[in-house]
Copies of this chain bind each other. A is one copy, B any other.
Amino acid sequence: MKYLVTGGAGFIGSHIVDRLIKEKHLVTVYDNFSTGRELFIKHHLKNPNFKLIRADLNDLKLLTQSMKDVDFIFHIAAHADVKRGFSDHSIDHRENLEMTQNVLEAMYKNNIKKIAFSSTSSVYGDAKVHPTSEDHLLCPTSLYGATKAACEHYINAYASYYGMTSYIFRFASLLGERYTHGIIYDVLKKLKKNNKELILLSDGTPKKSSVYVLDGIDAMFTVIKKSKDQFNIYNIGHTQVLTINQIVDTIIKSAGYKKVKKKWLGKSSNWKGDNEFVLLSIKKLNKLSWKPKVTIELAIRKTVKYFKENQHLL
């Protein structure tokens, strides 16, 4: 099969590429390297099954040409800085929704029938039920969450019009090798500058579920292989959930720092649109015999180890 992975040089995308190449598929990575890194895909550059297109999804003509003879799209490219939508009301609309519409248009023109999409737990907003299942009301509290939910709907509308099969994955936070932004990155960067005092947003009580990236990738491939449905919406998360305080302690311990004084700025410092409790139900995935293999603590340790081995990423 021939696959195209948008954002294929990024954190999640590059792991998907590894898996596809391992399974002997033909893979095109389409990435503008705004957050993607050559480091994450350079081991494939000489593989004849691998092709790299360094371009922006904004270029609909090139995107359409790039999809020639492709069977399956992994649309992973996104603007993933959830905080920024509060100060810039158009960035998520442009970079998430409009680029997704370009992907769908290019698929339509090439008569491609399968798409997998990386959505997010943020589509639920402040969920009223935890663990939150896929049929929970969508009430996003950020433009990031709103545009990701909008992408899901556009994908399903095109899928309905043109008989495509859609695989939508609502991810909890992903951790692991090639992780490049988020709380672990922020904490390690601060500790690198000052390992005595760590100044932190919030009060440490919010609870956030995460999942190890290779477990997450495995969940995607499990759904794609086992589900027979045309429209697929699956949470990908973990039964475990840690408080931010527990996450920070695990990072500090994993990184080998001692006597770090944590200073919490309090709840008023939370960024607008954040959700204080994220725990996704993974019962739907369990029915396909998938469950995460790696604990959240181990996923944090693996992430910290990756940064130790790749200091230049900090």
Residues of A within 8 A of B (CB): 85-86, 89, 93, 97, 101, 104-105, 108, 123, 125, 134-143, 145-147, 149-150, 152-154, 156-158, 160-161, 231, 233, 272-273
Residues of B within 8 A of A154 (CB): 143, 146, 150
Q: Tell me, rounded to whole Å, the shortest Cβ–Cβ distance linking A170 to chain B.
A: 12
User: Which residue in chain B gives the minimum CB-CB distance to A133?
Assistant: B137
CB distance from A213 to the nearest CB of B (A): 26
Assess the A233–B273 pair: CB atoms within 8 A: no
CA distance A231 to B136 in the complex (A): 15
Give CA–CA (A137, B229) in the complex, Å: 15
Q: How far is the CA of A97 from the CA of B154 in the complex (A)?
A: 12
Q: Is the CB of A150 within 8 A of B272?
A: no
A157 and B233 contact, Cβ closer than 8 Å, known pairs A93-B101, A150-B149: no
Would you call B137 and A156 a contact (CB within 8 A)?
A: no
Number of copies: 2
Contact flag A138-B141 (CB < 8 Å), given A146-B157, A153-B150, A161-B86: no
Nearest B-chain residue to A135, judged by Cβ: B137
**20 A/B residue pairs, CB under 8 Å, sorted by A:** A85-B157, A86-B161, A89-B108, A123-B153, A125-B156, A137-B233, A139-B231, A140-B153, A140-B156, A140-B160, A141-B160, A141-B161, A142-B161, A146-B154, A147-B150, A149-B149, A150-B150, A150-B153, A150-B154, A157-B273
For residue A123, which residues in chain B have a CB less than 8 angstroms away from its CB?
Answer: 153
Known pairs A135-B137, A140-B156, A150-B150; list 15 more (Cβ under 8 Å).
A86-B161, A89-B101, A89-B108, A138-B149, A138-B152, A139-B153, A139-B156, A141-B160, A143-B161, A145-B157, A149-B150, A149-B153, A160-B273, A161-B272, A161-B273
Sort A-B residue pairs by CB-CB distance and give the 8 closest, nearest first: A150-B150, A146-B153, A141-B160, A146-B157, A135-B137, A149-B153, A143-B157, A146-B154
Contacts of A86 in B (CB 8 A): 161
